[in-house]
Structures are given as structure tokens and as C-alpha cells.
Amino acid sequence: MAEGIAYSIVGKLAEYTVDPILRQIKNSEIIGEEVSSWLLKVDDLKEKSDEVLDSVAASEMWCLFNRCPNLKTRYLLSRRATKKTIEADKLKVEGTFERVSCPGPSVQVLNLTSHEDLETRLSTKKNIKDALKDKDTSIIGICGMPGVGKTTMAKEIVNELKDEKVFEEVAFAVVSSDLDINKIQDQLAEMLGLKIEEKTNKDARAERLHERIKGNDGKSILVVLDDVWGEIDLGTIGIPSPSGQEGLKIMFTMRNEEDESIPIENLVRYARGLELFKKTEKLYETRDRAYSIVDNLKSCNLLQPDEKEDEVKLHDVIRDFCLQMASEDKRGYLATHAGLIGWPEHDADDSYSAISITFDKLDQLQSGLKYPNVKLLRMICCKEGECKISEEFFKDMKELFLN
């Protein structure tokens, strides 16, 4: 009896909970907060259910030389298993959501250059304003080299949209190279009429700002982050994701840096190896599709043209945003390219599906690393020399194959 109830728990979890939810989630969407919390409960129940199963396997279910059932052991295990079954039934009821995910925020990035004439500059400004008015666009970026007037244009756009009453509230903060979260929060709070009493508790400060923006009663609000230099976590500041937040838009200005060039042919290889494109059996079909997508991304300024025609550049801010979105979509990416002489320390090996690492120097790749879901592995060593790779290094990379 105990065995039957215990093993039925796992079936219930799959039938009632995770599978139906995951079938509704598209790759480009973000799981809602309530659903994420519910999935954590499911994981917790599954872990506890596994403990019951382990107890069933390890316990002495029979006594008197296996002639009579051990009634006490079976009774206790049956109670534990029945309790978990009731919890699974409860999770089924709680797992009824009107919507399990929402589309990721739509991003537009427009580029400013120093040699633009007045007509082109006015056209760029109009495109930015149109993007801010577009209900399907949530995040708008203005990028360009230092001194081309990104901040000036952002302020002009803010003033004009205020006059046009496009947004009921606007909050403006300067980020700069010396990232100071408290300073950014104070600037935004002041413009929103919010007084944050907490001075040292970062989580409490972020929560106060988050509640103020989230509970905006449907009012349209524009948050402007000026002079963004590198990776920035909106959640740490207290800015909610625009996904599912009606009326919220985020605009930022960022400077173009001389990022590493990316050969488009490398992208073709990745697309081919990962089988990203359907109905592209021939290599030239994959190449045509990859080049077409690159052209589209360049037209949106999500990729920058390089000096070489067959190479492109990706701004570090855009890269970090993409990595953040991927992590929220439960697809982990391990990407690090600074001063490494050994394998980087991190958590949750199982979550990664792609790894890209640049080593300054590396003598040997360690064994015992578990990446069962990795499909893309890219490693570069800046210093030439022999690197020893253990045969065990690839042992637990079941999804990785040569192409």
C-alpha cells in the first residue's frame, strides 16, 4: 500500500503540475511571479516525495525472516505518502492560472552618430518618440559614442512628451561609470515624490521603489536611465520589468564601446550546430538565414557594423540584457571573459545550456564538471601554450556533440 501511494505521488506531480504549465510557456516569454513561486513549491514537494520513495526502498517492509509484513513501518510510510498526495492535490488547485507567462519586453535601440545632419537627427528623435508611444515596445535605448548628444536628446524627448501629455509621470536618473544604486534610487524616488527612509537596507529600498512604480494605478510612467556604462540589474534598483506592467516604459542612453568583433560565419556555425533554424538542411540555407537575421538586428541597432563587412559588434549592455532575459527564461548561459586562469566558480551546473569563456592563461581543464544540458561550448585562451584536457572533462556533457 505504502509503495503504491508513494509512487503515485510522482505521477500526480507530472499530471497535475509541471507538465501542463510548461506546455503553455513559449521560449520568448517570462514566467509570472505567482507561477514561479508555485513551481518552487512543486520542486519542494517533489524533493520530499523522493525522500518518501527512498524510505520505501530502504525500510524493512517485512519481518520474521520476510514471512510477515512489518505493519508499523508500512503504516508510518503510508501516512507520509498519503500526506504528500494531499499536498499534490492542493497544488493542482493552486496551479490554475489565467496566464502562466507574459511576453518578454520588446526592445528598440537607436544609434546616434557625430556626423548626422539636422534632418537625420530630427528623424532619429521622431523614431524614438514613436517607439515610446508604441504600446508594443517597452524598452528603448539611445546609443552612440561619447559626446554625440545622447543625454541632450533624451532630455529633449522627455520635455516634448511631457508637453504632449504622453506620460503622466517621468523619473530620470544618471547612472554613470561609478554605479551607485542608492544614488540612482534617490534620484528616481525624488522625481516620483517618494521618500525612502531606509539608508542601508538595499532590498528594502528596492522594494519601496518597486511598489511605487508597480502600484501606479494604471498611470503611464517613463523611467529614464542616462549614461549607462555596463551591466545593470533593474530589479536591484527597484524597477519592475515592463512585461505585464501597463503604462511603464524604460528609456536608457548608453555609450558605444569598441567591443570584440564577431565573425558572422561563427554565428552560422552556432546556428548550424544548435539546429536553430527549421527547414535548413543545406549549409547555404543556414547561412542565408543567419545573414538575414544579422541584417535585421543591425537595422534595429541591436548589432553594430564592424570595420570588416563580414563581422559585427554587440554592445556589452545589450549582451548583458540578453543574458539576463535568458536566465529568467530558465535557460542558463555561463559567459565570462575577464582575467581567468582557471574554471570560474558558479552555482547550478545543471541549468547551463551554453558556455562561453575566455582565459588569460590555462594549463589544464579540470574534470568532474557536470553540464548535462550544455549544447554550446566555446573556450578561448589568450596566451599560447599547451593546455591539458582530461578525457573526463566532457564525460557529463551528454547534449554536446561535434558538428
Diameter over CA atoms, the chain: 95
pTM of the predicted protein model: 0.49
Give Cα separations from 221 to 168, 224, 261 (angstroms). 6, 10, 37
Q: Within a 10 A sphere around the Cβ of 80, how many other Cβ atoms?
A: 19
Q: Which residues contact 262 (CB under 8 A, 6 or more apart)?
A: 306, 311, 312, 313, 314
Tell me how crowded residue 73 is: count the other CB atoms within 10 A of its CB. Answer: 17
The DSSP call for residue 351 is: G
In a 13 Å sphere around the CA of 44, the CA atoms on its Cβ side amount to 8
pLDDT in tens, the chain (403 residues): 444 444 443 344 334 443 443 343 333 455 666 666 766 776 676 666 666 555 554 454 445 445 454 555 555 556 666 666 666 667 666 666 666 566 666 777 777 766 667 888 888 899 899 989 988 888 888 887 777 788 999 999 999 998 999 999 999 999 988 889 999 999 999 999 998 888 878 888 999 999 998 877 678 999 999 998 877 888 889 998 887 677 899 998 887 667 678 899 999 998 888 888 888 889 999 999 999 999 988 887 778 888 788 999 887 667 777 766 666 655 677 777 666 777 877 665 677 888 888 887 777 777 777 888 888 888 887 776 667 777 778 878 888 866 5
DSSP-derived pairing of the beta strands 261-263 and 311-313: antiparallel
DSSP string computed for 208-258: HHHHHHHTSTT--EEEEEEEE-S---HHHHTPPPSTT-TTEEEEEEEE---
Q: Across 283-351, where does the E strand assignment appear?
A: 304-305, 311-313, 332-340
| 370 vs 330: CA distance, rounded Å | 17
> Is 135 in contact with 240 (CB distance < 8 Å)?
no
